[in-house]
Structure 1
Amino acid sequence: MHSFAGERPGPSSQLPPIGLDEVREVAAAIHQGVSCVIEGKPEVIRTAVIVLLAQGHLLIEDVPGVGKTMLAKALSRSIDCRMRRVQFTPDLLPSDITGVSVFNQDSHGFEFRRGAIFANIVVGDEINRASPKTQSALLECMQESQVTVDGTTYELDQPFMVMATQNPIEMEGTFPLPEAQRDRFMARISMGYPTPRSEIAMLETHGQGHPLDDLQPVTDAATIRRLAERVSTLYASPALRQYIVDLVTTTRSSPALRLGASPRAALQLLRASQALAALEGRDHVIPEDVQQLVGPVLAHRVILSSDVQHLHRRTEDVLGELVAHLRVPTASRSQ
């Protein structure tokens, strides 16, 4: 494999271990910085930070003009790392994302020119405006943190996170994301309209200048990588892991769902729960962590049955009912 995103640093194990206090401190600093740009959306920002620490990818879905791209750019600017922004359009080519081999007349050979995916944080704006062929160029990148072009595989530096925005599918000029693409996003969030008070505050602050201009990084890529490694070591008991498996298995057998959650969804639900536990200052995961993240992590992966769709029920409500009827383990941590 080849690395084209800069020289990789040495193993994090050579550095002193990071404590949970530092995880919470850095996460709080990121949250505070983004909150100066995105008014009145603490839960949305919190979920974005969780996905970052859980080494996942984030899908931000909502109508135009509510701050989807602003959230993605604010989170990326809070970290001193490589950031690239891609505007997805119908004429965008897969090689624009992954890169392409071109012939160099001076050296009489082919050389690889990196695409936009070679960054720590990639902001994909309006991802569902590109064709399914172009969308599929992200599959290998998001799952394996690598790119294969002309038979050669190039590694992507860590951390690597795709933050994509999309408009609702009924909007004009959009293509539905394939199921395989949606399944690679750890979580999906919706911005929603701001409260009147938050909108007034936005008019006051944004009217005097762009708040992104004043946003300074509070950490760097190397620290985020170490924080993510620490989060991945948080304890999840056998009972807790069984609880997650039972939950995703229930989605596959429920008559209300035509498509249930995948094994990848179970793994990402665990990772997100570990990040949430770290933000709460705990060194172990409890069932409440899992329950809080069922909606963001699973709702975009499952598909309602036609009968339930005709009743205009929300996917989050159906998942909430499944969680409510599932037996909760009495002890989330065994000695």
Structure 2
Amino acid sequence: MDVKEAFEISQGIIDRIGQVYLGNEVVIRKTLAAALVNGNILFEDYPGLGKTLLAKAFGKVLGLKYTRVQFTPDLLPADILGTKVWRQNKGTFELIKGPIFTHVLLADEINRAPPKTQSALLEAMEEKQVTIEGETFPLERPFFVIATQNPIEFEGTYPLPEAQLDRFLLRLRVGYPKSLEDEIAILEARLSWGKDDPTGDMEPLVDRETFVRMQETVERGIFISRDLLRYIAELVRNVRSDERVEAGPSPRGGIALMKVAKANALLNNRDYVLPDDIKVFAVDALAHRIMIKPEYAFEGISGEEIVREALEKTPVPKEGRSG
């Protein structure tokens, strides 16, 4: 599949999802960019802003197997991964697969489960496989997690471990509708649907094989110059060396930014990356990988603020094709 064909299909996906998820096309585009590189996404925002609706719409439109797990304090790792059960009549153990054996896993309110259960996702999110009682099972491509998280100050939530946060390609915030007209459009759409969840009526726009080919186009068909690789590396190092940072993004953060920048180039019908493809995702890809020193955290300094300042002081290459 060439870049133009993948771009045209992507536009159809964005338009189709925009029919049910109203008022924020930027979030749709960023979610699709992450999906195109098999990246996990963490939506961190208040309840009722459409995070679950967006995740379900993606599963439907991409023609992928979709599973939702509602994370609760009593959820166990086996409830996600599955387990082996002894079958007396066969004299063998049989694998009962958990909901993680899917293409799109919606981990709803992931921070309501204790750390042990959250950590059950680590291997699947990074290595695209799960290990059950010593036996490893690969997950069918594509596989990515879309997780939602309520703000930590909400009662009954657990902070995500740093190791798990690092497995999320992007952390996105949906935000409230930007205008009165957007808010009215949401109310009008609900009236026209006649139901709270319109995703049941959505038809797939592509199938699994087509979407995998789109992912391969991003991986092999989009060029990124060495100058831009240097730009990413310098940006990451500037974030890491900030005096307010206890621990900064690892090389995994730079790789995440490179991958999603390539996906964004495809979404703009280009076969090469520009600096703007990197800038638009820098905060989403790096901010959640930063640990702020306590004395600065108490002052309200955020990872987003540090990444934005690093963007301002990191020299930007002038050319995207060379190098």
Shorter-chain TM-score range: over 0.9
Distance 2:79 2:115 in 1: 14
Within the alignment, does 1:289 sit opposite 2:277 as a pair? yes
Distance 1:327 1:191 in 2: 30
Gaps of 5+ in 2: none
Distance 1:286 1:205 in 2: 37
Distance 1:305 1:332 in 2: 35
Q: After superposition, give the CA deviation of every residue in 1:49-82 in whole Å (9 maximum; x if it has no partner).
A: 1101121011111011111111111111112121
Partner AA of 2:307 in structure 1 = L
Residue 323 of structure 1 aligns to a residue in which SS?
A: helix
Q: After superposition, give the CA deviation of every residue in 1:261-295 in whole Å (9 maximum; x if it has no partner).
A: 01111111100000001111111112111111101
Partner AA of 2:45 in structure 1 = D
Using the TM superposition, give the Cα deviation of residue 308 of structure 1 relative to its aligned residue in structure 2, in angstroms. Answer: 3.0
Task: Please name the residue that 2:70 is paired with.
Answer: 87
Distance 2:228 2:208 in 1: 31
Between the aligned residues of both structures, percent identity stands at: 42
Task: Please name the residue that 1:230 is paired with.
Answer: 217
Using the TM superposition, give the Cα deviation of residue 197 of structure 1 relative to its aligned residue in structure 2, in angstroms. Answer: 1.4
Distance 1:314 1:78 in 2: 35
Distance 2:41 2:268 in 1: 21
1:10-89 maps to which residues of 2 (within 5 A)? 18-89=1-72
Partner AA of 1:214 in structure 2 = D
Task: Please name the residue that 1:136 is paired with.
Answer: 119
Contact 2:51–2:174 (Cα < 8 Å) also in 1: yes
Partner AA of 1:271 in structure 2 = K
**Which of 286, 289, 307 is equivalent to 1:298?**
286
Using the TM superposition, give the Cα deviation of residue 331 of structure 1 relative to its aligned residue in structure 2, in angstroms. Answer: 2.9
**Which of 270, 292, 304 is equivalent to 1:316?**
304
Gaps of 5+ in 1: 1-17
Distance 2:144 2:84 in 1: 24
Task: Please name the residue that 1:219 is paired with.
Answer: 206
1:194-273 maps to which residues of 2 (within 5 A)? 194=177, 195-207=179-191, 208-209=194-195, 210-233=197-220, 234-273=222-261
**Which of 114, 139, 160 is equivalent to 2:97?**
114
Distance 2:296 2:319 in 1: 34
Partner AA of 1:70 in structure 2 = L
Residue 64 of structure 1 aligns to a residue in which SS?
A: coil
Residue 258 of structure 1 aligns to a residue in which SS?
A: strand
Partner AA of 1:78 in structure 2 = V
Using the TM superposition, give the Cα deviation of residue 306 of structure 1 relative to its aligned residue in structure 2, in angstroms. Answer: 2.7
Contact 2:84–2:96 (Cα < 8 Å) also in 1: yes
Task: Please name the residue that 1:11 is paired with.
Answer: none
Distance 1:216 1:305 in 2: 48
**Which of 126, 150, 163 is equivalent to 2:133?**
150
Aligned residues between the structures: 318
Partner AA of 2:210 in structure 1 = T
Residue 110 of structure 1 aligns to a residue in which SS?
A: strand
Please report the TM-score for the alignment, with normalisation by the length of structure 1: 0.92
Q: After superposition, give the CA deviation of every residue in 1:167-225 in whole Å (9 maximum; x if it has no partner).
A: 00111100000011011110011111113212211112213334223322111111111
Distance 1:200 1:38 in 2: 13
Distance 1:91 1:217 in 2: 34
Distance 1:100 1:284 in 2: 45
Using the TM superposition, give the Cα deviation of residue 330 of structure 1 relative to its aligned residue in structure 2, in angstroms. Answer: 3.0
Distance 1:229 1:197 in 2: 39
Please identify runs of 4+ aligned residues in structure 1 that moved more than 4 A. none
CA RMSD of aligned residues (A): 1.3
Contact 1:27–1:279 (Cα < 8 Å) also in 2: yes
Partner AA of 1:169 in structure 2 = I
Task: Please name the residue that 2:110 is paired with.
Answer: 127
Contact 1:36–1:211 (Cα < 8 Å) also in 2: no
Please report the TM-score for the alignment, with normalisation by the length of structure 2: 0.95
Residue 332 of structure 1 aligns to a residue in which SS?
A: coil
Q: After superposition, give the CA deviation of every residue in 1:315-335 in whole Å (9 maximum; x if it has no partner).
A: 222211111101122333226
Task: Please name the residue that 1:178 is paired with.
Answer: 161
Contact 1:84–1:117 (Cα < 8 Å) also in 2: yes
Task: Please name the residue that 1:96 is paired with.
Answer: 79
Distance 1:316 1:158 in 2: 32
Contact 2:71–2:107 (Cα < 8 Å) also in 1: yes
